[in-house]
Amino acid sequence: MNGKNEKYVSELSAVRRKKATSVKKEILKHRQQSTAFDTNEPNDSPSFSSTQLDNLVIDLLKKLKKQADRFRNVSAAKARAKRTFVCGLHESLKHIEADNVKSTIVARNLDEEVKGLILFCRFRDACISRNIPIIHASSKRYLSRALGKFPYTNIVALFHFQSFEVC
């Protein structure tokens, strides 16, 4: 048994001594260059740091989610009738066209696939034609975390939020 363990240990040490291939070296070099912070280079990507608007939006969504959970605990049928928000592009568009939506929240880091869809263009045009405000706030990760949704939530449509207004 002792001889087998020594053989196994020597095999592991042989694996650890392998040199990185040229492809692996290029990948590591590229990672180091991309993660290095260069102040001279302009940043084209939007900032996802937390702003006051982001914090207010997340707080509003958390309160709406808590209210929806309370309604669901009382009665599932009443909870469906008294929904305060829906998540997702298709659901949001459906309720916008039914004139149920008062406001929409769109993540700032919206997927490029979603932006290119005709459905998103219809969503944006419907919001503009019905004078529904589109709030670009927070990120997909924080929106979905506030609502307890998985996977990420790109768009949230709000039906009513009168009791949650901030002074």
Gap between the Cα atoms of 90 and 137, Å rounded: 19
Residues 60 and 90 in one domain: yes
* pLDDT score at 50: 75
CA dihedral 120, 131, 56, 115 (to 10 degrees): 10
Q: What is the pLDDT along the chain (167 residues), one digit of tens a residue?
A: 555 556 555 555 555 556 777 777 777 776 676 655 444 444 444 555 678 899 999 999 999 999 888 888 888 887 777 888 999 999 999 999 999 999 999 999 887 777 778 888 999 999 999 999 999 998 999 999 999 988 888 999 999 877 666 54
Residues 82 and 154 in one domain: yes
Q: Tell me whether residue 41 is in a domain.
A: no
> Which residues, 6+ apart, have CB-to-CB distance to 18 below 8 Å?
none
Residues 59 and 141 in one domain: yes
Query: What angle do the packed helices 118-129 and 89-97 form, to 10 degrees?
Result: 40
Q: How many CB atoms lie within 10 A of CB 47?
A: 8
Q: Tell me whether residue 43 is in a domain.
A: no
Token pair belonging to 166: 């901030």
pTM above 0.85, yes or no: no
Could you please report the per-residue DSSP string of 5-45?
HHHHHHHHHHHHTPPPPHHHHHHHHHHHHHHS--TTS---S
Count of domains observed in the chain: 2
Domain span at 60 = 52-164
Q: Tell me whether residue 74 is in a domain.
A: yes
Residues 108, 86, 48: CA angle, nearest 5 degrees: 15
Residues 88 and 135 in one domain: yes
Contact call for residues 127 and 113 (beta carbons, < 8 A): no
Residues 12 and 66 in one domain: no
